[in-house]
C-alpha cells in the first residue's frame, strides 16, 4: 500500500474537528517519519489546549453557579466610555445553564476576528440578548456615567427573557429593581459578563465602521472614536463631526 504523503496528513489534521483528533493520533502515532510525528504532537497539543480552555471556561461560571438559585442570570457590560466620538453601548446577555461556549473573555483580550466569531455564537445560543446605546448628544447632556447607566437600563429592557439577577461589570445601575451583583473586572471573571462585553464591543465597532464610511477623514474604522494621534490631528484640522462628544474634546478644539 502506498504511504500517505506528509502534506496530505497535514491537511487531514487541519480539517480535523476535536472529536477526530484521538483517531488521528491512533492512526499515525506508529508512523516513524519525523514530519508525521510532529503532526501527531500538534494533535496532542490541540487536545491539551482544548482541555485547558474547558477548565478556564468552567472557572468563568463561578458566579453563575453561586447564584444559580435565581434562575435567569444576566451579564451586563458596556464599551465606549472613553472615546471622543460615537455612542456608549451596553450589552445584556442571558446564557443557558448548560452553556459550553469556549473562549469567552473580556472583549479587550480577544482579537477582532475572535470577537466577531464569538458574537455569532453568542447570538445563536443565548436565551436572550439586549443592546442599549446612548449617543454623543445624550452623553453631553447628562455625562458619560449617567449615559452609561441609561444604556444599561435600555439593554435590560430589550431582553426577551426577564432576568432574575444581574451580574454587572463593576457598577450598580440606579433605577433597576432586579438584584444586582457588581463584580470588579467582571468581564474576565464571569462568562455572562464576558459575553455581554463581546456583544457590546462588536456592536459598537461595527457602528464606528459605518460612521467611517460617512465621515472618512477621522479614521473611525481604525480608532473606533478613541483619541489616537491621527484622530486628534483630524479633529484639529476638520473640527468636530456630528458624532463627536463636545464635552470630551475641549482640549483639542475651540
User: 91: which strand partners?
Assistant: 77, 131
Residues paired with 85 in a beta bridge? 244
253: confidence class by pLDDT, cuts 50, 70, 90: confident
pTM comes to 0.89
Enumerate domains of the chain plus CATH numbers. 6-59 (no CATH), 62-210 (3.30.420.10)
- Nearest CA among 96, 65, 108 for reference residue 198: 108
Buried b (16+ CB within 10 A) or exposed e, 89-117: bbbbbbbeeebebeebbbbeebeeeebee
pLDDT tens digits, one per residue of 73-118? 999 999 999 999 999 999 999 999 989 899 999 898 999 999 999 9
What gap in Å lies between CA 87 and CA 210, rounded to an integer? Answer: 13
> Would you call 184 exposed, middle or buried from its count of C-beta atoms within 10 A (0-12, 13-18, 19+)?
exposed
Torsion angle (degrees, nearest 10) of CA 237, 243, 247, 251 = -20
C-alpha of 77 from chain center: 10
- The helix/strand/coil state of 154 is helix
CA–CA separation, 117 vs 163, rounded Å? 25
Q: How far apart are CA 86 and CA 208, in angstroms?
A: 7
Q: CA-CA distance, 76 to 155, in Å (whole number)?
A: 8
CB–CB of 94/139 below 8 Å? no
Predicted confidence (pLDDT) per residue in 187-221, tens digit:
999 999 999 999 999 999 999 999 999 999 999 99
Instruction: Find the mean pLDDT for residues 56-85.
Output: 96
Quote the pLDDT of residue 254.
Answer: 67
**218: Cβ–Cβ under 8 A, 6 or more apart, which residues?**
85, 212, 231, 234, 235, 238, 241
Looking at the DSSP assignment, which residues form a beta bridge with residue 88?
A: 134
Do residues 217 and 234 lie in contact, with contact meaning Cβ atoms separated by under 8 Å? yes
All 3 cell numbers of residue 160? Answer: 426577551
Amino acid at each position: 500500500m502506498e504511504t500517505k504523503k506528509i502534506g496530505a496528513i497535514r491537511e487531514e489534521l487541519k480539517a480535523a474537528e476535536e472529536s477526530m483528533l484521538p483517531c488521528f493520533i491512533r492512526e499515525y502515532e506508529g508512523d516513524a517519519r519525523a514530519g508525521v510525528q510532529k503532526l501527531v504532537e500538534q494533535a496532542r497539543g490541540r487536545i491539551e489546549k482544548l482541555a485547558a480552555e474547558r477548565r478556564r471556561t468552567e472557572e468563568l461560571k463561578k458566579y453563575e453557579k453561586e447564584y444559580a438559585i435565581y434562575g435567569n442570570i444576566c451579564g451586563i457590560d458596556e464599551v465606549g466610555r472613553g472615546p471622543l466620538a460615537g455612542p456608549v453601548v451596553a450589552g445584556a446577555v442571558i446564557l443557558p445553564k448548560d452553556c459550553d461556549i469556549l473562549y469567552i473573555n473580556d472583549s479587550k483580550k480577544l482579537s477582532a476576528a475572535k470577537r466577531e466569531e464569538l458574537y455569532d455564537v453568542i447570538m445563536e445560543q443565548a436565551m436572550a440578548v439586549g443592546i442599549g446605546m446612548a449617543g454623543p448628544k445624550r452623553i453631553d447632556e447628562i455625562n458619560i456615567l449617567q449615559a452609561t447607566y441609561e444604556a444599561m437600563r435600555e439593554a435590560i429592557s430589550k431582553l426577551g427573557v426577564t432576568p432574575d439577577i444581574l451580574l454587572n461589570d463593576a457598577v450598580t445601575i440606579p433605577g433597576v429593581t432586579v438584584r444586582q451583583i457588581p463584580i470588579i473586572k467582571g468581564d474576565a471573571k464571569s462568562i455572562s459578563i464576558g459575553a455581554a462585553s463581546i456583544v457590546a464591543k462588536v456592536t459598537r465597532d461595527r457602528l464606528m465602521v459605518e460612521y467611517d464610511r460617512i465621515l472618512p477623514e477621522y479614521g473611525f474604522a481604525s480608532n473606533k472614536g478613541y483619541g489616537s494621534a491621527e484622530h486628534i490631528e483630524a479633529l484639529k484640522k476638520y473640527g468636530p463631526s456630528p458624532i463627536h462628544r463636545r464635552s470630551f474634546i475641549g482640549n483639542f478644539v475651540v
